[in-house]
Amino acid sequence: MNYWSQLVFVSSITMPVFFLVYIGYWLNKKNKLSAGFTESASYIVFNIALPVLMFSAIVKTDINEMTNPSLVVFALVAAFLSFLLLWWLGKYFIRDRASLGVFVQGSFRSNLGILGLAFCSATFSESGLAVGAVLLAVITPIFNILSIYALTHAASDESEMDWLLLLKNVITNPLIVAILVAMPLAYWHVSLPSMVMQGIDYIAAMTLPLALICIGASLSLTALRHTQGLSWLAVAIKLLILPLSIGSAAYAFGFRGVELGCLVLMFASPTAAASYVMVRSIGGNHQLAANIIALTTLVSLFTVSIAIYLLKVFALI
């Protein structure tokens, strides 16, 4: 087996992704990107460009071949069980209630929409983008609901949630709306006019580069000066323990190729940057949240590369 060629293959996937993140970080350090630009660009990404990318990926794919019910069920169960286990362990070992929900969220909530999707797309091209879109559609609502539950109930077990408001926020999420609109079109093989698709492709093409630059511009290494041991524990769980456990379980259940690879890459992605905003709005330990996001983003440069390398070396993808 040519290990060098496998290493080159892995580098060709991960290095462009993190190069764009570095460009964003460098531009921010040079004061070439203002906070206002980053905020506006992030709004465009999450509310327009990323939903359009999801829509484009799904309508171009044969939905009958793309949708594997067992893959959907496995992803949902994996996300839910990982949360339950972390919530139980966290409540048992973490006495600081302000840090409990932050730790749990940071340990299981992946950056699916940007980095996870970028890894899937770079590794498997259009098929990876399509499978990644399905995983994003089914896991994102679960991540949002469980994250809100963890943060809300961390301070007090008696906290009450507005479930109707939560449901409304989930079903009006632009990503979910785009995917729900695209699914029927893909299922019935409805072809949109070429002029419309060309415009959609223009918007979709800017999604990942702009999003990765925004992540780099938002990355704060200053937060790492106050890194806690709890942050490193979250990093170990997020980037090592969960991907290895879920990947092994997926293999045992018979998943191979694109499906196995996308499952591993999605759950091996660093903690979602949006989790910081949620922590600040609820009043949790935002310093811990910033630490976890920064550390998982930096360390994933190595762990995701290793994951792809091992999957290739053992011919699992």
pLDDT at 126: 83
Please give the residue range of the domain that contains residue 28. Answer: 3-313
Model pLDDT for residues 230-258, shown as the tens digit of each residue: 899 999 999 999 999 999 999 999 999 99
Q: Considering the chain, what percentage of its residues have pLDDT values greater than 70? A: 89
Q: Which of 78, 125, 65, 13 is nearest to 263 (CA)?
A: 78
Residue pair 309/10 in contact by the 8 Å Cβ criterion: yes
Give the dihedral of Cα atoms 71, 16, 233, 273; nearest 10 deg. Answer: -80
Inform me whether the pLDDT recorded for 309 exceeds 80: yes
Q: Which of 240, 268, 249 is nearest to 17 (CA)?
A: 268
Inform me whether the pLDDT recorded for 227 exceeds 90: no
Average confidence score pLDDT of the chain: 85
pLDDT average, residue stretch 113-138: 86
Inform me whether the pLDDT recorded for 281 exceeds 90: no
Inform me whether the pLDDT recorded for 266 exceeds 60: yes
Q: How many CB atoms lie within 10 A of CB 302?
A: 11
Q: What is the pTM of this model?
A: 0.82
Sign of CA dihedral 8, 12, 13, 16: positive
* Three-class SS state of 166: helix
Q: Which residue has the higher pLDDT, 21 or 5?
A: 21
Model pLDDT for residues 78-98, shown as the tens digit of each residue: 999 999 999 999 988 888 878
Which CATH number characterizes residue 114's domain? 1.20.1530.20
Q: Which of 198, 195, 203 is nearest to 178 (CA)?
A: 203
Q: Considering the chain, what percentage of its residues have pLDDT values greater than 90? A: 31
Give the contacts of 180 (CB within 8 A, at least 6 positions apart): none
d(CA 114, CA 258): 18
Q: Looking at 53-67, 121-135, 178-192, which range is the least confident one?
A: 53-67
Q: Looking at 9-18, 138-147, 279-288, which range is the least confident one?
A: 279-288
Inform me whether the pLDDT recorded for 293 exceeds 90: no
Q: Which of 89, 87, 124 is nearest to 105 (CA)?
A: 87
- Domains in the chain, number: 1
DSSP 32-50: -S-HHHHHHHHHHIIIIIH
